[in-house]
């Protein structure tokens, strides 16, 4: 029998346990340990605990919450769709993708980003992006400040430089800087030295994924 606690992608098949995932997400950080002890023998939650090898310290509990947020982000697709995607992956690819995403979830500083990784994974399962695009998008999201992501829509069409927000999105690989010739198609004139930016292909893919999911980062 396949042990679903061995790989992150196998954990995305919820087996009708969404309510327990929400328990791990919604409670305060200092009470999650108690909730996990209470649910330790609950089917599916015990697999998350085993996967994280948690010791109920604050750092480990936080990691469990990030895993739970990733799983929540992927909940829009059915278990059947996820099983179909997983069955079409070679063992090597499944391990490679699981390992990549597991490492990102471990090092990311944001639960918000963990949920966005889940949304990107859901888009992959729906064949809206391929495996490489999924991993590139997740890697880029990990490099950006999450509260800059709503500004993606600002750059659907060429737009002026918007202070450090533009720098962050550009550095993460979501924007391209346009030349004066490229902006002439959209503007009658352009001031010398004005910087114009527009979503590149990856930035547009992320914008569409977040827009279709109705996702907006929760403000601090």
71-80 mean pLDDT = 91
Q: Which residue has the tokens 């980003």?
A: 113
pTM listed for this prediction = 0.84
User: 34 and 138 share a domain?
Assistant: yes
φ, ψ for residue 66, nearest 5 deg:
-65, -40
Task: Single out the residue in 142, 170, 196 at which a domain terminates.
Answer: 142
Domain assignment present for 1? no
Q: Is the pLDDT of residue 186 over 90?
A: no
Residue 161 is assigned to a structural domain of this protein: yes
Domain that holds residue 157: 146-212
Highest mean pLDDT among 30-34, 63-67, 192-196: 63-67
pLDDT one-digit tens code per residue, 80-117: 999 999 999 999 999 999 999 999 999 999 999 999 99
Residue 153 sits in the same domain as residue 137: no
20 plus 87 within the same structural domain? yes
Residues 12 and 42 in one domain: yes
Residue 2 belongs to a domain: no
Do residue 89 and residue 176 come from a single domain? no
**162 CB neighbour count, 10 Å cutoff:** 15
- Asked if 151 and 173 touch (Cβ cutoff 8 Å), the reply is no
Count of CB atoms within 10 A of residue 191's CB?
Answer: 8
Could you give the CA distance from residue 103 to residue 145 in angstroms, rounded to a whole number?
Answer: 18
Listed residues 142, 163, 183: the one ending a domain: 142
Across residues 183-210, what is the average pLDDT?
Answer: 77
Residues 131 and 150 in one domain: no
Same domain assignment for residues 119 and 161 = no
Q: Do 29 and 134 sit in the same domain of this protein?
A: yes
Stated as kind and residue range, the H or E segment containing 197 is strand 196-199
Same domain? For 171 and 197 the reply is yes
Domain-embedded: residue 218:
no
Q: Which band of pLDDT confidence, cut at 50, 70 and 90, is reported for residue 166?
A: very high
The verdict on 181 and 118 lying in the same domain is no
> Which of 142, 175, 192 marks a domain boundary?
142
| Total count of domains within the chain | 2
């Amino acid at each position: 029998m396949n042990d679903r606690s061995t790989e992150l992608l196998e954990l995305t098949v919820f087996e009708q346990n969404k309510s327990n995932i929400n328990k791990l997400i919604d409670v305060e950080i200092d009470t999650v340990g108690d909730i996990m002890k209470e649910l330790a023998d609950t089917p599916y939650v015990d697999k998350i605990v085993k996967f994280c090898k948690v010791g109920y310290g604050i750092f480990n509990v936080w990691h469990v919450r990030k895993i739970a947020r990733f799983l929540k982000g992927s909940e829009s697709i059915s278990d059947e769709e996820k099983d179909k995607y997983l069955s079409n992956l070679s063992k090597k690819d499944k391990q490679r993708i699981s390992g990549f995403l597991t490492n990102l979830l471990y090092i990311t500083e944001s639960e918000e980003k963990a949920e966005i990784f889940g949304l990107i994974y859901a888009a992959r399962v729906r064949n809206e992006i391929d495996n490489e695009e999924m991993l590139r998008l997740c890697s880029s999201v990990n490099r950006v400040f999450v509260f800059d992501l709503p500004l993606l829509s600002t750059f659907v069409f060429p737009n002026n430089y918007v202070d450090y927000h533009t720098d962050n999105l550009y550095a993460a690989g979501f924007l391209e800087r346009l030349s004066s010739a490229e902006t002439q198609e959209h503007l009658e004139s352009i001031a010398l030295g004005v910087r114009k930016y527009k979503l590149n292909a990856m930035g547009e893919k992320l914008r569409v994924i977040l827009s279709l999911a109705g996702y907006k980062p929760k403000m601090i």
